[in-house]
Amino acid sequence: MPTPLLNCDIGESFGAWTMGLDAEVMPYIDCANIACGFHAGDPGTMRRTVALALRHGVRIGAHPGYPDLLGFGRRSLDCTPEEITDLLHYQIGALDGICRAQGTRVGYVKPHGALYNDMMRKPQQLRTVMAAVSRYDNSLPLMLLSTRDNRPAQAMAAEFGLTLWFEAFADRRYTGDGHLVPRGTPGAVHHDHQLVIEQALRLASGESLRSEDGQTLQLTCDTLCVHGDNAASVEAVQQLRQALDMGAER
């Protein structure tokens, strides 16, 4: 199997408030999902994060979310299709402008938080997101959750001529249908970095996982989401990078 890309949500500081260890994790990832100002981030943070990604040869992705700074974009908002289209174009365009000023462009789109979860559970909202990304630039891959059955999403993307990057999570538990266990559920997030590495390697090698209800779950994995918000998570990403690179050399 091809080695999956490591992606990380990044650039989520705001003003004087710092979040994440961006400089520490950037050397070990392939794709930087940069916050675009609605759930986190600001113009200066976006500019500095783009520059950091360029220094390390990391692909730059737009990470748009609901307009919810207080809730970090993790609260679902009742937006119309037109509003979702507008907020996507606004945020992708903002980051793309900052990229262009530094001689590069946005390379893909990964929605954030509640927007990501909503589009995965509501086919009409996924269609709205796909249409919005396609209208902006249909050469941009859309990153979305790999589930037990990706065929409906693939068929929908084909209508818009979009490329999909199916994503799996190294640090999250899954439901039987391949969706993420909600964050508020005990055990939904793995905090043991050895467990995170083990799950990531299973996903990268095409091995199955065990869902929260005991089902065997097989997930397609083009990219793995990792996190770099504390020293332990950065260490886990570093170890995972080394393990994936060693596997690719065999």
- Residue 113 domain flag: yes
Range of the domain at 26: 5-169+222-228
- Residue 207 domain flag: no
Instruction: Say what the pLDDT of residue 250 is.
Output: 55
Instruction: Say what the pLDDT of residue 232 is.
Output: 82
- Residue 107 domain flag: yes
Instruction: Say what the pLDDT of residue 248 is.
Output: 62
Instruction: Say what the pLDDT of residue 1 is.
Output: 60
Q: Specify the CATH number for the domain of residue 87.
A: 3.20.20.370
Return the residue matching tokens 């397609």.
220
Instruction: Say what the pLDDT of residue 246 is.
Output: 80
Q: Are 116 and 85 in contact, with CB atoms under 8 Å apart?
A: no
Instruction: Say what the pLDDT of residue 138 is.
Output: 96
Instruction: Say what the pLDDT of residue 249 is.
Output: 59
- Residue 247 domain flag: no
- Residue 149 domain flag: yes
Structural domains counted in the chain: 1
Residues (pLDDT < 70) of the chain are 1, 247-250
- Residue 177 domain flag: no
Torsion of CA 61, 217, 240, 221, to 10 degrees: -40
Instruction: Say what the pLDDT of residue 233 is.
Output: 85
Instruction: Say what the pLDDT of residue 230 is.
Output: 81
Instruction: Say what the pLDDT of residue 228 is.
Output: 82
- Residue 195 domain flag: no
Secondary structure string (H, E, C) spanning the chain: CCCCEEEEEECCCECCECCCCHHHHHHHCCEEEEECCCCCCCHHHHHHHHHHHHHCCCEEEEECCCCCCCCCCCCCCCCCHHHHHHHHHHHHHHHHHHHHHCCCCCCEECCCHHHHHHHHHCHHHHHHHHHHHHHHHCCCCEEEECCCCCHHHHHHHHHHCCCEEEEEECCECECCCCCECCCCCCCCECCCHHHHHHHHHHHHCCCCEECCCCCEECCCCCEEEECCCCHHHHHHHHHHHHHHHHHHHC
- Residue 12 domain flag: yes
